[in-house]
Amino acid sequence: MASGVVKLSVVGIIILALGIACIPTFHFVMHTIVSQKLTLSNTSFVYKTWANAANSSAHVYLQVWVWDLQNKHEVLNGAQPYLMEKGPYTYRESQVKHNITFNDNGTVSYAPVTKYVFIPEMSIGPESDTYTGLNAPLVIIANLLRTMPSLVQELGDIIAELTKDTNLFLTLSIRDIIWGYNDPIFELIYELTGTSLVPGPQFGILAGKNNTGWQTFSVFTGETDISKLNIINRWNGQIELTYWTTSYANMINGTDASLNPPFAGLNDPHYVYTAVVCRSLGAQYEKLSTVKGIRSNKFHIPERAFANISVEPDNVGFCTPDKHHCLPNGLLNISNCQHGSPAVLSFPHFLYADPSVILPGMRPTKDEHETFITIHQLTGVTMQAAKRMQINMHVKADKYFRQLSAVREVYFPMIWLNESFIIADKDANTFKSTVETPVMILQVVQYSLIGIGVLILIVAVISYIRKRSRTKVKRESPSKQQEGQRQSTSQGQEDQENEYTPLIN
């Protein structure tokens, strides 16, 4: 019996040890496989999709909403704007990376060219739809002159006279505001000064950015350190930005969100850099999420990203030109990276912004207007993402421009964008069969071995305890019989003595 318990214990220990040994083995195997598959090289699993989005069955969409002004005459006389949201107007994005060059320092350089194609069936109307919007070039020129000497500011009178038929509010098409239109003020300034004050004769939110390579990236391939996979090393040749007033604010951190380092923990920083925002944004873990049956971690851009320095002191570097010019909560002054225009960035509908900034007609909600990215923790693959931003103009009264002479100060929303992605059904099924299922099987085997080993050891311990109990009973039984015999003998002797004792009083 003893040998049986020993054998059972040995078997349990061996199985338990195998299960425990599977833990580091499993992690090593998965780390090796994932690293080989995801490393940016011209032979890796992800390279074709990374280099050319046309090789993926998933699509990235850019949705656009404009703000249609309902009370332009009242606004000209100092009233608060009342706006109605109009959209979405949807474009499909396809990106091809040009001039891909692998460098000796473990990075790869490229120039992404993104093409936008209008999708009528996903839009509320054609690109020719019109709305009433702000004459941004007029506000931009007024702002540029406001920073110059008074003698130069007086040029506003001349510009106002030359552009007397130009109104503060225009009827624009969706195509105009997104891809650009010739503006008489910009044309005049461009003819007089060239590109020193304005980038060209056109104005548009994405003017010059459709099917053009206007930026370059250098990112780590992950070959020498997988934790740096797709981390930006340089943007447009720069290792840091020059827009902001502190080194912290000028840091270029993170990825472009298309591919992320694998094995990242929930508390590890997740930064995303985008040129539209002119800075890196730190994403914070929010919750576990399931995207098309794949368990992933959702990270979102928190409220403090655009918070005033009274809430987030580190944001002082984003106050330009200095800390005495910080904007209210929820706003980011991006004039330094937009040719000096009074452009102000926010989340759509002024989500998280100071209540005084929010205008009639706006209804900010977290689910519809936040920016987030959902990442598979093991592989770092992006399952779903939405980059939602609103572009506004800081409008102030200006005595040198009659069109601005009586307006109230306001952060006037121009447009808001949602650049979104979700893994395609085909890719999700492939991911589950090639990643999720094998991982699940390995985990089941690993924990089953541990469970079986522990169970066998428990059975062995119970068997040992029972055996000890039976042995103890057997050892105690003869002693009890002998004690019984002694008691019987003593009782017999006592009876005999009692039998022969005379009864004498």
- Determine contact, residues 167/133, Cβ cutoff 8 Å: no
Residues of the chain with pLDDT under 70: 1-3, 5, 149-157, 160-165, 472-505
Report how far apart, in Å, the C-alpha atoms of 438 and of each of 19, 178, 430, 441 are. 17, 46, 12, 5
- How many structural domains comprise the chain? 2
DSSP-assigned beta bridge partners for residue 392? 344, 413
Question: What would the two tokens of residue 48 be?
Answer: 């074709």
Same domain, 352 and 413: yes
Residue 393 lies in a domain: yes
Same domain, 354 and 333: yes
- Determine contact, residues 139/397, Cβ cutoff 8 Å: no
Dist CA 411 CA 140 (whole Å): 13
Dist CA 328 CA 306 (whole Å): 9
Domain hosting residue 14, numbered range: 1-55+436-461
Residue 499 lies in a domain: no
Residue 476 lies in a domain: no
The rounded radius of gyration (Å) of the Cα atoms in the chain is: 37
- Determine contact, residues 245/322, Cβ cutoff 8 Å: yes
Same domain, 49 and 67: no
- Number of residues in the chain: 505
- Determine contact, residues 391/418, Cβ cutoff 8 Å: no
Same domain, 257 and 282: yes
Residue 406 lies in a domain: yes
Same domain, 104 and 6: no
3-state secondary structure (DSSP) of residue 196: helix
Same domain, 275 and 363: yes
Query: CA 319: distance to chain centroid?
Result: 24
Residue 336 lies in a domain: yes
Q: What is the pTM of this model?
A: 0.84
Residue 485 lies in a domain: no
Report how far apart, in Å, the C-alpha atoms of 223 and of each of 40, 103, 219, 380 are. 7, 12, 12, 15
- Determine contact, residues 349/389, Cβ cutoff 8 Å: no
Dist CA 198 CA 139 (whole Å): 13
Same domain, 326 and 288: yes
Task: Report how far apart the first and last C-alpha atoms of the chain are (Å, whole number).
Answer: 67
Residue 484: the pLDDT is 54
Dist CA 251 CA 239 (whole Å): 8
Report how far apart, in Å, the C-alpha atoms of 219 and of each of 105, 235, 252, 273, 440 are. 10, 9, 11, 12, 32
Residue 320 lies in a domain: yes
- Determine contact, residues 190/198, Cβ cutoff 8 Å: yes
Same domain, 65 and 50: no
Beta-strand pair 181-182/169-173: unpaired
- Determine contact, residues 65/415, Cβ cutoff 8 Å: yes
Same domain, 215 and 104: yes
| Chosen domain end from 369, 393, 423 | 423
Same domain, 313 and 448: no
Residue 133: the pLDDT is 96
3-state secondary structure (DSSP) of residue 374: strand
Residue 327 lies in a domain: yes
Dist CA 414 CA 67 (whole Å): 6
- Cis amide leading into 313 (omega within 30): no
Dist CA 231 CA 105 (whole Å): 13
Residue 104: the pLDDT is 94
Same domain, 143 and 291: yes
Same domain, 9 and 65: no
Residue 119: the pLDDT is 98
3-state secondary structure (DSSP) of residue 411: strand
